[in-house]
Homo-oligomer: A and B are copies of this chain.
Amino acid sequence: MGRNRATLADVARRAGLSKTAASMVLNGREGTRLSAEAHQRVFAAAEELGYRPNLAARSLRTRKTATIAFVSDIVATTRFAGGLIRGALDAARERDHVLLITETQGDATFEQYAIEAMLDRQVDGVIYAAMATRRLTVPPAILGGPVVLLNATSPDDLPCVLPDDERAGRTVTTALLDLGHRDRIALIGRNRLKEDDAEVSLAARARLRGVHRALDDAGVDLLTECFCAEWLPEHGYAAMRTLLGRPTRPTAIICMNDRLAFGAYQALAEAGLTVPDDISVVSFDDDPIAAWLRPGLSTTALPHEQMGRRAVEILLDGGGATPSLVPMPLRRRRSLAAPAG
């Protein structure tokens, strides 16, 4: 791997100058008094030798590595990680940085290990990502340098990037209201644990708040709210079935995420009902299945790439109001229609 690369000394020699001069020219140092001709010679020599600096040597001196640690609790089990990583990767590349990835798996030992590995490698900063939007406490060891929380907040008020779930709650609700749905909108996916424990989820509470605010503004009440122990298809399915067993059938359903909506679709199909003619469905996340369902599920997209991007921007460029809320755009598909009758 990278044997016999030209060194700065080689470049300097070929340019007939000192290492100092070569270093300054190549780093574009301001205020140096090296002649235009010296610049030329150095650039030419570097070009001819295909010179690339040895970053280990550089960071030994400068304590900068152009490397960002991306520490997450769980990457594998959720498809969402990909987007976060990709966004971060893109933004990092634009800034000539690279990503060192580790995973804690929610395990203290692994976390300790991951952090030591990062510190040993002198990363320039840490992105601490959670796969479910939630509050967490970051290990004190990483507070020595810049940190940005991704998809999480912490009690220490560290800079963080979050999806704007509350606004998304408003978005899905007004989408229904605008179509004329009124008092027969039902909600699937209330969940005490997610709503009350910020360390489990921030999304549930925020989404709900958005929904309720939008309804309040319009002076409309929900028909009913179904509790779900988890946000999985089977729970959406069960909730939808009980909903259909009630006397007044809803004209629209808001599901707290796409997996619940998927379950709801299954129950609707089984009951011989058609989306959106009989019931409109709207949801959150823009999981790939949302596009695969028939008809396509309208849902607010978790902007993972943007979030990953934003985290790197804040870390490296500094900046902005600190809970950086990234909008969740509504993906309109065929699951929405005006209420029948």
Contacts and interface: CB of A to CB of B under 8 A. Distances in A.
Interface string A143-156: 01110000000000
A289 B259 CA distance: 9
Interface string A123-166: 11110000000000000000011100000000000000000000
A98 B121 contact: yes
A180 interface: no
Interface stretch (A10-18, A25-33, A49-57, A211-219): A49-57
Interface string A73-117: 001111101110111010001000011111100000010011011
Q: How large is the interface on A (under 10, 10 to 19, 20 to 34, 35 or more residues)?
A: 35 or more
B82 A110 contact: no
> How many identical chains are in the complex?
2
Interface in A63-81: 63, 65, 67, 70, 75-79, 81
Given A1-B123, A1-B145, A57 B55 contact: no
Interface of A: 1-3, 52-57, 59-60, 63, 65, 67, 70, 75-79, 81-83, 85-87, 89, 93, 98-103, 110, 113-114, 116-117, 119-126, 144-146, 232-234, 237, 259, 262-263, 266, 269, 288-289, 292, 294, 304-305
